[in-house]
Chains A and B, each alone.
Chain A
Amino acid sequence: MPAVLILGGLLAYPLFLGVWLSLTNTVLGSPGQFVGFQNYIDLISDPTYRGAAMFSIAYTFFAEIGKVSLGLILALIVNQKFAGYRIARAMMLMPYVAPTVLSALAWLWLFDPQFSAISWLLMKIHLIHAPINFVGSPTHAQISVIVVNIWRGLPYFAIGYLAGLQGINKDLLEAAAIDGASAWQSFWRITWPLLLPVTTILVSFSAIFTLTDFQLIWTITRGGPTDATQVFTTLAYQRAITGGSLGQGAAVAISPIIFMIFFAWFVVRSVREERATA
């Protein structure tokens, strides 16, 4: 019963309130009236919203690809026992444990068009002649925030994969080696299939958090330039909190729930499958 109350109070109530608000024309400070799906209809014809939705999906998609591939590589490296491997594993967690807003501020400095340490270093070693314009054009800005998201989420994947790798029965790999399988064949035929369930869970959870990412983008670009890095959450904040249109902002915030339900369903299904095969 207490669990139900806690879940109801902390999860269900805010969610239902959000859904209800999105069906009203509530503005800050005064209750609104029920307007049905009007806010959602307005959003469909709103190019800023459509742009934010497209970039949210692209942001999530490319960030997940980056995190899966780099996370796996990192896990494969730190799964080896080399001098200082324990320290390496601990260091790997740094981006994950640092408060997001602080790391975002650090990236803001690294992306500075005039004073970036990255540009400075590359100029020092004569690889470039002028500072890099990291977030000064839509495409650059989009790539940059995706890179930061990958950096931030990498430890989650690396640790997940490391656990997955350590759960793989060594006998299988040894048997494959005796049969003359190459390292790539062992990975592709044995390791990767065994890591698929953990991949599904890692990607699904991470996708939910990436799709609802706010701090990184708000700190680095505020959705700019020209709304190029606007995502669901930044747009919802802009509309509801700074602009005062709570109903419309709630509709923006609630709209990605369809994607999140899909990811959640994916998680549940893969967990069930895993249980069935276990």
Chain B
Amino acid sequence: MARLDRRTFLELSAAGIGAATATGLPAEAIAAAEASPFKPEKGAQLQLLRWTEFVKGDRTAWEENTKKFTELTGVPVQIQWLNWPDVSPKAALAAQINSGPDLIMGWNSDAYLYPDKLVDVGDLVDYIQKKSGYVYPVARSYCYHDTLKRWISVPIGVPGNAMAYRKDWMEQAGFQSFPTDMDGMLALARAMKKQAHPCGFSLGHAVGDSQGWSHWNLWGHGGRQVNADNSPAIVSAETLSSIEYAQQLFETMIDGVASWGDANNNQAFLAGQISLTMNGISIWYVAKAQYPKLFPVTYNALPPLGPIKQRTQFSTFTHAYIWKYSKYPNAAKEYLRFMLDREQAGKWVTDMIGYITPAYRGFSKLPVWTSDPNVTPYRDVLDGARFDGWPGVPGRAAAQATDQFVLIDMYADVCINKMAPRAAMQKAENRLTQIYKSA
């Protein structure tokens, strides 16, 4: 495939030859690249480290878009795909030795761990926001450093969490629609369990799944792990309510959830062993592609509201940061601009049927979100989404509390270890005190 660098493009344009025709690239993409303020350095080449895809469409679209970028700019991009929990350790290594990939697609508080090492990407974020809408507040929390007063990472989005459930079993249990509040969902889970269809939520050290539902539960009841000043605040009546809710929900779960990693609920659902779980769209996506009998009864819904009657979502948030040690920061910015441009990102999101919900509000208008009612809940997962450690200060302590599974361990202590709720809550508070003191 012939490459078209900027110089060639100008020459072709000057000669009146449509570059779009020459490369097969849409004219809009070429025009946007030309108008972009981010000019790749001469001889630039990029290394991107990003997490391995959860759904097939992600990788193919991402690689296709990357190829287009290289055709357009002449900048080769080498992508290193890595199992998603391993990205943060690799990023940590890069920070420590000042060497490695030019840019990384990482998670949650990554950028907050080494903000001084990262390129200011404020100009790029502004540029994307102007074109694709403002970011949801959670994106700003992870990517804008309030103390340094600058953007340290470029928001991308979330593999959002919603409820995946079996519609046939729900109806057999006497429910016509998926409940919109937590009490209703508990009643549904109980009714389905009576019919030998348990639900399943990870109570183990599952990096994504256990965090998703435990935060939803705590926040939905009005609890919080720390206050805005990072002082531990988990001991509260609200937390206690959330523990009681977890206990009741646990009674309706399948055996073994305390050993569940991130893949277990997908496997159990697709094997017809559970009726309800919280997950990304991957269960529905895989059912659509590979389970023709299961697919018509696999449905998704937004997580029900807790007693505080507000949407309180937690999802692992992905964003991209550029290292100061990179010799090609402008090329990296241009790459991200190109990949997050409506044309390319729209295709990316559409091809993976909404696995990633983009952090920019403009993408909520993509037709993919309304292409099936089961995709629509994932469009809205960023409404009310909160960052880890909310409402404290994002950063090392919040990351450690999440990495050390303080919250899910609190629920597991009660459900699995039969610890008294107050004792489990106090234990969590002690752990948080230790973490926030020493981190």
Interface residues of chain A, those whose CB is within 8 Å of chain B, are 27-30, 42, 45-48, 108, 111-115, 130-131, 133-138, 141, 221-227, 237-239, 241-246, 248
Contact = CB atoms under 8 A, between A and B. Distances in A.
B396 interface: yes
B403 A242 contact: yes
Given A28-B113, A226-B417, A244-B92, 17 more contacts: A112-B256, A113-B255, A113-B256, A114-B264, A133-B255, A135-B258, A136-B255, A222-B207, A225-B204, A225-B205, A225-B409, A242-B399, A243-B400, A243-B403, A243-B404, A244-B439, A245-B400
Q: Which of B96, B258, B259, B439 has the most CB of A within 10 A?
A: B259
Interface string B232-262: 0000000000000000000000111111110
A42 B92 contact: no
B256 A136 contact: yes
Contact of A226 (B254, B403, B413): B413
B95 A29 contact: yes
- Chain B interface size band reads 35 or more
Interface stretch (B60-68, B265-273, B307-315, B339-347): B265-273
B117 interface: yes
B402 to A, nearest CB: 9
B403 A238 contact: yes
Contacts of B145: none
B191 interface: no
Given A29-B95, A242-B89, A243-B404, A113 B264 contact: yes
A237 B85 CA distance: 13
Interface of B: 88-89, 92-93, 95-96, 113-114, 116-117, 203-205, 207, 254-261, 264, 267-268, 271, 273, 396, 399-400, 403-405, 409, 412-413, 416-417, 427, 430-431, 434, 438-439
24 contacts: A29-B96, A29-B114, A47-B427, A114-B267, A136-B259, A221-B205, A222-B207, A225-B416, A226-B409, A226-B412, A226-B413, A226-B417, A227-B405, A238-B404, A239-B400, A242-B89, A242-B400, A242-B403, A243-B396, A244-B92, A244-B399, A245-B396, A245-B439, A248-B438
A111 B267 CA distance: 14
A133 B261 CA distance: 14
Contacts of B205: 221-225
A114 B268 contact: yes
Given A29-B117, A136-B416, A48 B404 contact: yes
A242 B113 CA distance: 10
A111 B438 CA distance: 36
A30 B92 CA distance: 11
Which 5 pairs of residues, A with B, have the shortest CB-CB distance? A113-B256, A29-B114, A224-B205, A222-B205, A243-B400
B264 A222 contact: no
Q: Which of A42, A114, A227, A241 has the most CB of B within 10 A?
A: A114
Contacts of A141: 259
Nearest to A45: B434
A224 B403 contact: no
